[in-house]
Structure 1
Amino acid sequence: MTASGKNTRLSFFWQDSEEEKDDRVTMFDVVNGQMKENIVIQQLIVIARLPRSLAEKTRLGDYYEELVYKSKVLCSYEAITGLLLIYPTCLLHVIEGSRETLNSVLKDMAQQPKSVLLEAKIVFMGHDLQSRLFKDWDYKVLKANQVASKAAVEGDEEENTETLVCSVLSALQQLKKHLATGAFPEEVLDENPELIISQNILEKLMSRDDFMSPQQHLEIYNLPLNISVEIGKVDPRSLFPDI
C-alpha cells in the first residue's frame, strides 16, 4: 500500500545534515516559478494506542494514505516517505519529510477522537537526515500471529527507555538494508518476520512518561520567541562618563 501518487522530556536527535537537492533547473522551471526547493529532511517516529473497538484497521491505514497523498499534492516538490505499522493494540508511524509535513501529521493525530486513537507519543524526531529510510510511504496491518511470537521470546526484562528507543531505531535500520533491493516493506516483513518491531516494545514505550504527546509538542513549537527588547541597547552616558 503506497501513497506515491494515486520541561524535561526525553528526546533523541540525529545531528548529521544533508539537504535533498536537485541542481538541474530548466528555463521552464524558472519562468513558471516551479524551481525545486531545497528541503531539509526530518524524521518523526510516533506511537499510539488503539482502542479495542477499532475493528477495521485497514480503514485507518487508508485514512493516513490519503492524508499523505494530499500533502504530496500540496507540496509537489517534496518527497514524503515513511511506514505505518498497525498492530493489534497500537501503531508505529515513521514519516520523513519537511517540518511542515511532520507538523501536519502531529496536528492530525492530536485531533483524532478517542474512538480512533487513545493516546499518542513522540518517540523520536531526527533533524537534517543524511538519507531516508524509505523510498515511498506505505502501511501494513500486522496480524496477531506476526507480533506474538517475538514478544514471547523477549521475556519481561525492564529495559530503560533509551535502550527501548535504540532497539526501535536499530530494527528500522535493519529493515532499510532489506529494502535496498527495491522490495516493498510489506513483502519484506512477510518474508522476514524477525524484522517486525515487537508490539511488546511499543507497549513498554507507551507506559513511559518520558515522551511528549503531539499536542504538547505543537504547543511548545508554536510558542513565540521571548526576545528581550533591551538586548543590544547601550546607554550613551556609559560611553562618556564625564559628560
Structure 2
Amino acid sequence: MSLNVHNRRTSKKHFQVDPLLMPKVPRTNYLHLQEEKHRLQLKKFLLHRMFLVGYVQANLEKKEITEYYEKLFQSILKNHLGEAVTGLLLVYSRTFMHILETSNGTLFRILLDYVAHEKEDKEYMIQNVKIIVASHNIPTRLFMQWHVSVIKVPVLYLEDVTQSQSLAEVTTDFLSMTHKLALHLFKTVKVGTKGPGDNLHQVAPDLLLPEQTIEYLCKAEEFMDPATFLNMYNRPIHITLDSEIVWPAPSRF
C-alpha cells in the first residue's frame, strides 16, 4: 500500500515542469509581426502601388475625368473592403500618367472597370492603357491624397531622348522622375488641400515627365494592358503535370 502511494507521488513530481525552465520571452512568429506592423500603420490590408500610362481623348476636361475616378473609388470602397486610394494623375494634351496606391482588391476593380468600358465604348476617354510596374506590399504611401493635375503648357524639347535610349533606360528614367516628383509633393502638399493644381510646370518644371516619354511607353509592346494583366491575375496557380493525367499512374520510389 505504501509502495503504491510512493509511486503516485514520484510520478506527479516527474511531470511537473521547473518554472525556471519556462521561456521568459513570449514566443511569436512572422505573421504576428506583420499584423502588428500593419496595425501600427493603421492599415487593414497590404498596400500596392501601380504606375499606368495611356492616351486621353482630345480636349478632355479635368472635371470629367476627376468626377469619374472619384465616383469609381467611392463605389468600390462602398461595396468592397479595402484601403483608400491615393496617388497622382497627370493629364497631358494626348497622354496621361497615373500612380495608384491602394489595396490589391481595389486595384483589381479599377482595372476591371477600365476593361469593361473599353469593350463597351470605343470612344472611351482613356485608351491604350499600359501597366509600367506594380509594386507589392509597399511599406508606406508616397501620397496622402489622390490628386489630378493638367499639364497644358506646351513644352519644346530640343531632342527626343527616347530615340537614343533602350526601353530599360527609358523605364528607369520614368520611374526615377515620378518618384522624385512624388517625394516633392509629399513634402510640399499639405493634407486636406486641393493638391498641386495645374501649375506643376512652374512649381517643379525639372520633375515633369516629357510627354514623348509617356508616348514611347504607351507604344512599347513589352508592357501589359489591363486585360492581359487581369487574365494572368485570374489564372489558377495550380499546374497539372503530364504525369497526373496519364493512366496507369506512374509509380514513384
Does the 8 A contact of 2:82 with 2:105 survive in 1? no
Give the distance between the partners of 1:102 and 1:156, measured in 2 at CA.
Answer: 29
Decide whether the 8 Å contact of 2:150 with 2:198 is kept in 1.
no
Matches within 5 A, 1:191-206: 191-206=203-218
Cα offset, 1:182, TM superposition: 4.5
Q: What residue is the counterpart of 1:21 in the other structure?
A: 38
Give how far 1:55 is off: 3.9
Determine if contact 1:179/1:188 at 8 Å carries over to the other structure.
Answer: no
Q: Tell me the alpha carbon deviations over residues 66-89 of structure 1, each in whole angstroms, 9 at most, x when there is no partner.
A: 212333444576232111111110
Q: Which amino acid aligns with 1:210?
A: E
Relative contact order higher in (CA < 8 Å, ≥ 6 apart): 1
2: CA distance between counterparts of 1:139 and 1:66?
14
Shifted more, 125-134 versus 69-78: the winner is: 69-78
Partner deviation per Cα, 1:92-134 (whole Å, 9 max, x = no partner): 1110111111111111222232312231111111111122221
Q: Which residue of 2 aligns with 1:185?
A: 196
Does the residue aligned with 2:97 lie in a helix, a strand or coil? Answer: strand
C-alpha RMSD over aligned residues? 3.0
Q: Secondary structure at the match of 1:78?
A: coil
CA contact (8 A) 1:41 1:127 kept: yes
Distance 1:199-1:41 versus aligned 2 partners, 3 A rule: same
Correspondence 1:211 to 2:223: yes
Partner of 2:57: 51
Instruction: Return the TM-score normalized by structure 2.
Output: 0.69
CA radius of gyration, larger in: 2
Distance 1:154 1:131, change over 3 A: farther
Partner of 1:30: none
Q: Tell me if the contact between 1:178 and 1:188 (Cα under 8 Å) persists in the aligned partners.
A: no
Task: Give the unaligned 5+ runs of structure 2.
Answer: 1-33, 190-194
* Structure 1 stretch displaced more, 173-182 or 93-102: 173-182
Partner amino acid for 1:225?
I
| Secondary structure in structure 2 of the residue aligned to 1:180 | helix
In the superposition, the TM-score normalised over structure 1's length comes to 0.72
Match of 1:158 among 157, 164, 180: 164
Give 1 or 2: higher helix fraction: 2
Task: Assess if the C-alpha contact under 8 Å between 1:42 and 1:99 holds in 2.
Answer: yes
| 1:30-45 matched pairs, under 5 angstroms | 38-45=44-51
Q: Percent identity?
A: 26
Distance 1:60 1:168 in 2: 23
2:143 aligns with one of 134, 150, 173: 134
Match for 2:39: what amino acid? D
Q: Tell me the amino acid that sits aligned with residue 229 of structure 2.
A: H
Aligned residues: 204
Partners in 2 of 1:188 and 1:133 — Cα distance? Answer: 20
